Structure 1
Amino acid sequence: MALMITAECINCDVCEPECPNQAISMGEQFYVIDPQRCTECVGHFGEPQCVQVCPVECIPLDPFHLESPGQLQLKYEQLQAAKKALLPTTS
């Protein structure tokens, strides 16, 4: 599952820089998580980093984006492949 940030968010700015997939950004009123980029830190860390640093515990699983660990791993691999494709090649 992807994660989501609830309205209890206090906009403390600690979660955004912790996300290895750049899935977190400022929304209209509080931070939001892009479910297409969130892998719950699968492939990077053993635990979701945003959840670890959130002082108000407002980052639960998103029930609208159910994903298995295998699906999260595949998403991680696809994001990494896309990232590598954007890197300049050296000759």
Structure 2
Amino acid sequence: MERVDAEPFTDGGNDAVVRLPGQRFPGVLMQGDSLHILRSDLAEVVEACERGDLGEARDSAGRLLAGLDAVLTRYVDALQAHENARP
């Protein structure tokens, strides 16, 4: 396994912002359990749509969007704190 030094833009956590060598922009390092939760949340939206329960689909999608917005906000804040342009 190759080891690389990553440049941290935020502290650790479930959605750390880091830049890998050779990359212009940093990325979001998501923990495996957080990725599983994200996938499960999206599956709830799909299942509600399949049942025709648009109200539940809308609610589930809203929660999913709020979670992704929080990750995006953390990403944008980290870029601004390090005076990096957004992609």
Q: Which TM-score applies when normalising by structure 1?
A: 0.29
Give the number of the structure with larger relative contact order, counting CA–CA contacts within 8 Å between residues 6 or more apart: 1
Higher strand proportion: 2
Higher helix proportion: 2
Q: Which TM-score applies when normalising by structure 2?
A: 0.30
